[in-house]
Amino acid sequence: MSETATAPLLATRSLVKRFGSQVVLADVTLEVPRGRVLAIIGKSGTGKSVLLKCLAGVLPHDGGEVLFEGRPLGANAPEASGAESLAAFRRRCSYLFQGNALLDSLTAWENVALPLEQATLLPKAEIRLRVSEALHRLELETDATRYPSQMSGGMQKRLALARALVTRPEIVLFDEPTAGLDPLRRNAVFALIAHAQREFGFTAVVVTHDLPEALASCDHLALLDQGRIRFSGTPAEFAATPDPVVASFRDSPAALARDIAALRAGAALPADLG
């Protein structure tokens, strides 16, 4: 197997992102394995979505590097071609927004066709073929003429994914794809991502709060804590690591059960809630 095939598709080195005096990402070094699903987890407010936006080039970073296939991206890359490299990366990447970002004035077919019409020079026949294929693979071909407002939440999620995949990206970035969903729908979305990744073969980065679902469906996990990657590895390695920060995050359901049992026995509230 070639070095290119085994090297991480996307990576960061000592990435820094500030908003004024607030340092959100202090020193993030991360590798995204090629052809795998990586979940970025962590507490609320730790900068997971900020990291994803920096990976996508939506937000400029203030220090360090974002690398695609080993080459720095963005205007602050050392090469003069950084901006051109970022443009090329964006053509090979899709970003699935937290709220789906579907256009209610367009039908399902038109929503999926939009990125091809706006960002490519493909002939109309090829666009029709690709849109039909994407809708078929995500079981939406009979809903092509419906508008997003006429679809269920799960169908809208599938439609947003069809639109993200119609450009045949090499990497797809998911920003909280299960935000606001009940447990059954969360399971369905993670199953959809895993199925689509096997079907299309892309590399995926998923920002999520949903640890059990991420452990069950993702190949790798990275825990962001205090602006740094505290852990990066497989679900089995995550389950086995003795790191106290990882353990507190991993074992929080068991800790909650112990706290509830103690409260029912008459104990005082935990110090961080009292």
CATH number, domain of 224, equals: 3.40.50.300
How confident is the model at residue 267, as a pLDDT? 64
Q: Which of 168, 185, 203 lies at the terminal end of a domain, its last residue?
A: 168
> Which of these ranges, 109-113, 150-154, 217-221, has the smallest mean pLDDT?
150-154
Check whether 13 has a pLDDT greater than 90: yes
Check whether 219 has a pLDDT greater than 70: yes
Residue 4 within any structural domain of the chain:
no
How confident is the model at residue 5, as a pLDDT? 54
Check whether 16 has a pLDDT greater than 50: yes
> Is the pTM higher than 0.75?
yes
Residue 206 within any structural domain of the chain:
yes
Mark whether 16 and 86 lie in a shared domain: yes
Residue 98 within any structural domain of the chain:
no
Residue 69 within any structural domain of the chain:
yes
> Which of these ranges, 8-12, 97-101, 251-255, has the smallest mean pLDDT?
251-255
Check whether 264 has a pLDDT greater than 90: no
Mark whether 58 and 179 lie in a shared domain: yes
Check whether 273 has a pLDDT greater than 90: no
Mark whether 181 and 201 lie in a shared domain: yes
Residue 2 within any structural domain of the chain:
no
Mark whether 197 and 78 lie in a shared domain: yes
Tally of structural domains, the chain: 3
Mark whether 36 and 131 lie in a shared domain: no
Mark whether 205 and 267 lie in a shared domain: no
Check whether 30 has a pLDDT greater than 90: yes
Mark whether 183 and 163 lie in a shared domain: no
Residue 61 within any structural domain of the chain:
yes
Mark whether 38 and 87 lie in a shared domain: yes
Mark whether 184 and 124 lie in a shared domain: no
Check whether 253 has a pLDDT greater than 70: no
Mark whether 193 and 251 lie in a shared domain: no
Q: Is the dihedral of CA 136, 139, 142, 146 positive or negative?
A: negative
Please report, for residues 19, 71, 171, the alpha-carbon distance to residue 6 in angstroms, rounded to integers and kept in the order given: 35, 15, 15
Q: What is the mean pLDDT of residues 87-114?
A: 89
Q: What percent of the chain has pLDDT over 70?
A: 86
Q: Which of 151, 168, 185 lies at the terminal end of a domain, its last residue?
A: 168
Q: What is the mean pLDDT of residues 232-259?
A: 81
Mark whether 34 and 81 lie in a shared domain: yes
> Which of these ranges, 80-89, 220-229, 236-245, has the smallest mean pLDDT?
80-89
Residue 101 within any structural domain of the chain:
no
Mark whether 194 and 70 lie in a shared domain: yes
Residue 100 within any structural domain of the chain:
no
Q: What is the domain range of residue 64? A: 9-92+169-235
274 burial level (CB within 10 Å; 0-12, 13-18, 19+): exposed
